[in-house]
């Protein structure tokens, strides 16, 4: 189980790195356009159009990549159930279970697409506002370039975009994984009497929440929610939870059966 969680965390980190690479390409394109355009007011429509095209292209590429990776996380969420259940019960049980309904996957992918589209639109608005201020004489070309950003680390518009892109990628990939995990557990529970689920606080969490640390090890029936931070969550990043309780959550939920724990204790004795 630890290996499956570690693999999911690695997949998440790789997804973030790729989303940042896509953003950096857009930043370079916009910076090059601004630097090569004559700094005259009549150039503003041209600059605005170039920025808008660059951000639309960014949103399209980012959405395609995010949707593809969410498919991988959906499969990984299923593995988080199939592998431990098959190993503990029967190698045939995972094969016997039908494919889970992917309606939820499509809904979550659509939600992720809306977030990315909104991010790109907001970025476009902020960048063109800086260009307008500059061309109106309120800021120098140098100050405008600083606001746009010479990279993704210095304080700038693009640094904030990168931070939001990382949050979107981690949350929406993790949410898909957990939704698949929960759906697969509900199927498995029909074939494995006594199957439950357990909340696991990941060691990879960037900023651990005390309420999530307190939930570590909490066990519930598959169809019952966890009690986390005063809210009822069916799984980590449950969209039914508040933003404060789900965004940037690094926890996982895993299948649990008391007989598996006893068997492990007997082997260790």
What's the pLDDT tens digit per position in 79-115?
A: 999 888 887 776 555 556 778 889 999 999 999 999 9
Residues 172-188 have pLDDT tens digits of 999 999 999 999 999 99
DSSP count for the chain of H helices, then E strands: 9, 5
Residues with Cβ within 8 Å of residue 139, at least 6 apart in sequence? 130, 133, 147
Return the structure tokens found at 121.
């639109």
Cα(165)–Cα(160) distance, integer angstroms: 9
Residues 100-158 have pLDDT tens digits of 889 999 999 999 999 999 999 999 999 999 888 888 877 777 788 888 877 788 888 89
Residues 33-67 have pLDDT tens digits of 888 888 788 888 988 999 999 999 999 999 999 99
Query: How confident is the model at residue 109, as a pLDDT?
Result: 96
């Amino acid at each position: 189980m630890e290996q499956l969680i570690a693999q999911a965390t690695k997949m998440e980190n790789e997804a973030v790195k790729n989303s940042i690479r896509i953003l950096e390409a857009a930043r370079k394109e916009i910076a090059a356009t601004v630097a090569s355009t004559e700094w005259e007011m009549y150039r503003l429509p041209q600059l605005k159009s170039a920025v808008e095209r660059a951000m639309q292209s960014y949103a399209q590429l980012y959405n395609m990549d995010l949707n593809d990776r969410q498919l991988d996380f959906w499969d990984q969420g299923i593995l988080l159930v199939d592998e431990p259940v098959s190993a503990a019960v029967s190698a045939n049980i995972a094969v016997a279970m039908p494919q889970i309904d992917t309606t939820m996957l499509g809904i979550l992918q659509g939600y992720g697409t809306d977030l990315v589209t909104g991010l790109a639109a907001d970025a476009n608005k902020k960048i063109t506002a800086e260009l307008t201020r500059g061309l109106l004489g309120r800021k120098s070309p140098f100050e405008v370039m600083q606001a746009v950003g010479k990279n993704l680390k210095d304080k700038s518009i693009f640094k904030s975009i990168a931070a939001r892109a990382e949050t979107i990628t981690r949350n929406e990939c993790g949410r898909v994984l957990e939704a698949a995990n929960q759906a697969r557990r509900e199927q498995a529970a029909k074939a494995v009497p006594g199957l439950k689920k357990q909340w696991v606080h990941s060691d990879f969490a960037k900023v651990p929440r005390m309420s999530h640390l307190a939930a570590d090890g909490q066990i519930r029936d598959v169809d019952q929610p966890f009690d986390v931070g005063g809210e009822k969550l069916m799984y980590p990043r449950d969209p039914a939870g508040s933003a404060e309780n789900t965004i940037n959550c690094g926890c996982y939920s895993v299948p649990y059966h008391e007989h598996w724990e006893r068997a492990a204790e007997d082997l260790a004795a």
